[in-house]
Amino acid sequence: MTTGGGADRPGGPRLPGPRGYLSDKVISWLRTGAGPLPGREEVQHTSPYGGDLQLALYVLYELHYQGFDGVDEDREWSPALLSVRRHLEQAFLQALRADVPELGAQEAMAGLLTEPSGDDGSISHYLAREGRLWQLREYAALRSLYHLKEADPHAWVLPRLRGRAKAGMAAIEFDEFGAGRAEDIHAQLFADLMADLALDTSYGHYVDVAPAETLALVNLMSLLGLHRSLRGALVGHFATVEVTSSPASRRLAEAMRRTGAGPAAERFYDEHVEADAVHEQIVRREVVQGLLKDEPDLEPDVAFGIGATGHLESRLTRHLLAAWREEHSALPVPLPLVVSGRREPESGRV
């Protein structure tokens, strides 16, 4: 039990290194509780998709998840930090609204049901067809910032829904959280996948090597989950994840098998092929349709959530494939080499 001004959390994730003025001031304040914090003007002069702003936003959101080693837990609700976070969120949202085309929810949902051809820059097609083990390891390291908190931000929307939408959402979340079995929680399954790939399974371990494109995707679901006013967009984001997951997971399972990644690596994606095929039907028929029946005025928000997720996924895809097709690491510092058994030589990572 904590009393008074809160307490540091020993043993939690460590604070990452800063990437610019905004993240430096936020991270310094988290460490000390003192010093200047960036204001609206400094935020407005920083790229909304850049690593500095996205990292500052990421560390502020993490106060609502696992927190950080040595950071007072009461800083989660610091008025000064919440004010900074609002400026960051407004810049991020403004950029997304400018870049995401306006569609109706039905049109946006229909677009999710169109499978990519494999020649249009699909990561899962690339990895299934020609991905190397070192590329799969990079992909898993970056996706860990999402998958080790899988389903957590979506749970925030449950108190904001009712009827069919709430029941459908709760049913899917129950599966995501292991249907009552800790060893089957999807975040744990992804940690098992990471262990097969000889990656560090610590929560948030790879934030320092994550490009801004990865941070933006993780921040999007936190942004949408934390704001009741964005509940429709959160449902749109959730629908995008569930509807597109099953076919992509099938290809990623093939990539894991082809490279000899290991049984746990295969199991994570095999599990999602079956589970998310069911989830797709629930999310379309119960969650989305149920929400729009109760609150039809949220249709533009649902479409925005779908479009924003696709926009940020495309940015990450372009970043990864541009590096991998040139046989370069997509990370600022390549992961340590791993060579054993059937695993291929880790070449081409410069």
Could you tell me if 142 and 202 lie in one domain? yes
Once rounded to an integer, what is the mean pLDDT over residues 146-169? 96
Could you tell me if 128 and 28 lie in one domain? no
pLDDT tens column, 211-239: 999 999 999 999 999 999 999 999 999 99
Identify the top-confidence range among 22-26, 99-103, 336-340.
22-26
CATH code for the domain of 226? 1.20.910.10
Domain carrying residue 75:
21-99
User: Quick check: is 294 in a domain?
Assistant: yes
Could you tell me if 218 and 76 lie in one domain? no
Please say which residue of 79, 99, 119 terminates a domain.
99
Q: What is the DSSP string of 63-85?
A: TTTT--BTSBGGGGG-HHHHHHH
Q: Which residues of 160-181 are buried (b: 16+ CB within 10 A; e: fewer)?
A: bbeebbbebbeebbebbbbeee
pLDDT at 121: 73
Q: Grade residue 103 by pLDDT with cuts at 50, 70 and 90.
A: confident
Could you tell me if 67 and 214 lie in one domain? no
Q: Grade residue 117 by pLDDT with cuts at 50, 70 and 90.
A: low
The answer to whether the CB of 287 falls within 8 A of the CB of 235 is yes
User: Quick check: is 178 in a domain?
Assistant: yes
Is the pTM for the entire model greater than 0.75? Answer: yes
Could you tell me if 83 and 131 lie in one domain? no
Please say which residue of 69, 99, 129 terminates a domain.
99
Could you tell me if 281 and 186 lie in one domain? yes
* DSSP code of residue 116: -
Q: Rg of the Cα trace of the chain?
A: 20
- How far, CA to CA in Å, does 24 sit from each of 19, 80, 211, 233? 7, 15, 17, 30
**Nearest-angstrom CA–CA distance, 292 and 137:** 39
Please say which residue of 70, 99, 128 terminates a domain.
99
Could you tell me if 71 and 181 lie in one domain? no
Could you tell me if 185 and 39 lie in one domain? no
pLDDT tens column, 244-301: 888 899 999 999 999 999 999 999 999 888 776 778 889 989 999 999 999 999 999 9
Cβ-based neighbours of 32, under 8 Å, separated by 6 or more: none
User: Quick check: is 81 in a domain?
Assistant: yes
Cβ-based neighbours of 78, under 8 Å, separated by 6 or more: none
Hey, what are 88's tokens?
């960051």
Could you tell me if 132 and 80 lie in one domain? no
Could you tell me if 263 and 316 lie in one domain? yes
For the chain, the domain total comes to 2
Q: Which of 7-16, 46-55, 183-192 has the lowest mean pLDDT?
A: 7-16
User: Quick check: is 129 in a domain?
Assistant: yes
Once rounded to an integer, what is the mean pLDDT over residues 342-347? 46
> Among candidates 4, 65, 18, 8, which has minimal Cα distance to 46?
18
Could you tell me if 217 and 288 lie in one domain? yes
Tell me the percentage of the chain whose pLDDT exceeds 70: 91
Q: Grade residue 146 by pLDDT with cuts at 50, 70 and 90.
A: very high
Residue spans of beta strands (DSSP E) within 198-281? none
**Nearest-angstrom CA–CA distance, 187 and 176:** 8
